[in-house]
Structures are given as structure tokens and as C-alpha cells.
Structure 1
Amino acid sequence: MPEPAATLASVRVDQPSDGVVVLHVSGELDTSSADELASPLKSNLVTGVRAVVVDLLQVRFLGSAGLESLVTGSKRADELGVPLIVVAAGRAVLRPIEATGLASVFTIVATVDEALAKV
């Protein structure tokens, strides 16, 4: 029996400094759970935010719907002039990003500390 979507992915929101938001994503981002990322991205990409970091280090699977959430967030960040930085190091996340050519679209770093140093 498949697990409910709520248990497939989760996002914890952190604000390490004023105007900087880190979305710590864990689990699997597929068609049934991509909104777990899309919703907090949308609600945190607002006027006044200085940067958004999407931490995907605990993501075990990144499907096309998860990639779509990231692309939509990236477009919104561009509209606002806000950097959106993706933290990714594992094959489960980097391979789909690279295979779709999105590595050139996102700013990708290996650690949250590295991302925070960029803002």
C-alpha cells in the first residue's frame, strides 16, 4: 500500500538571518508530493526577502514535478530579483537536474553554509 503524500516529503522553514529563508526539504518529491515544496516556495518568495535557499540534501528522489516546483520558484525569484540557491550533493538530486539541463538555470552549491555565504 503506498504511503500518503504527506509522508513522502516534508519541508522545514528556517530563517537564519533577516530576510533569508532556508527550506530544508526531505523525502521524495514526485507528482503526489511536489506541492510540499511548491507551497513554501511560493509563500516565502515575496517582496522584502533577500534570498531563498532550498536545501535538498535529505531528498531521496527528485521527479519531474519536483523539478517543476524548483523552476517555478526560480522564475518567481528572478521576477523579484531575489537569489534562489539550491543545495544539492547527492546523485538522486543532481542527476535529474543535470539530465534536464537545469544545472545552468539554478545556482547549486554543496552545503547550506556555502549557500548562506553567497547571500
Structure 2
Amino acid sequence: MFETDGVGNAGGAADGVKLETLGDALVLRVTGALDLTLAPKVRQLVERARRLAPPVLVIDLTEVDFLASAGMAELVRAHRLAASTAVRVVATGRVTLRPLELTRLADELVIVPTLSAALDRV
């Protein structure tokens, strides 16, 4: 694991981002609200992942309970800046997948329903 960071929220649970190695892939796990508070940390760890140049970067939104436009912007940024790295986003349901579909970002991003599906082709 590369880094763990938490930022407290009003609900008492920790919002955070951590970057882990799983086989040949890097997995960016996001927890809590992916909004203006957490987006800069996502950007920082995506930059770190980009410098490491893994074949796959998975951004796991399984534990996200709110996806704001700032968070969506970071997903697009990660996708567009990844030169030789395939970026896959794990998103399901109304909290994460639905906003990506409504904004048509699902047409641009590679979205998969589970972490294992994201890692299948590594």
C-alpha cells in the first residue's frame, strides 16, 4: 500500500483515498464523499500512479456515498491523462453509476461493476 489518507465528515465515518498494489495493477480506493474536499487527494494519488506507470489503474468507487461534479472531473482527468495505463472505474448503483450515466461520462470512461471485473484483464 502506498498511502492512506482520511478526512473526517459530519457522519463520523472517514472519507479517504488509498492507493494499493494488486498484482500488476494499482487500485485507488475511495471512501465517503468524493467532492471538493477529497478531489485534490484523488488528483495527487492519480499523479503518483501515473508516474509509476502501471498497466492498469483501477479507481474503486464501491465505498463512495456521494459523487460530486468535482469527483467526476477527477475521474475524467485521470482517464485523459493516462498515457500507457488503462484506467477502469468501479461503479454501480444510483450513487456512483447513475450520475456518470446522466452526465454521459459513462460513454467516455471504462466502467465495470466490480473490482474483480476491473482486474480480469490485467
Q: TM-score range by the shorter chain?
A: 0.7 to 0.9
Structure 1 segments, 4+ long, off by >2 Å, are: none
Q: Work out which of the residue numbers 61, 72, 75 in structure 2 matches 1:67.
A: 72
Shift in Å, 1:47: 5.5
RMSD of aligned residue pairs (Cα, Å) = 1.5
Tell me which residue corresponds to 1:54. 59
How far does residue 59 in structure 1 lie from its aligned partner after superposition? 0.2
Residue number among 7, 17, 23 corresponding to 1:11 in the alignment = 17
Give the residue type in structure 1 aligned to 2:8.
T
Amino acid at match of 2:54: V
TM superposition score normalised by structure 1? 0.86
Distance across 2 between alignment mates of 1:115 and 1:72: 19
1:30 aligns with 2:31: no
Q: Which has the higher helix share?
A: 1
Which structure 1 residue ranges, 5 or more long, are not aligned?
A: none
Aligned equivalent of 1:117, options 107, 117, 120:
120
Which ranges in structure 2 are unaligned for 5 or more consecutive residues? 1-5, 10-14
Contact 1:57 1:90 in 2 (8 A): no
Structure with the larger strand share:
2
C-alpha distance in structure 2 between counterparts of 1:48 and 1:30, whole Å: 26
Give the structure-2-normalised TM-score.
Answer: 0.84
Whole-angstrom CA distance in 2 between matches of 1:104 and 1:46: 26
- Name the SS of the counterpart of 1:37 in structure 2: helix
Identical amino acids, percent of aligned pairs:
35
Match of 2:49 among 44, 51, 55: 44
Q: Distance in 2 between matches of 1:16 and 1:30?
A: 26
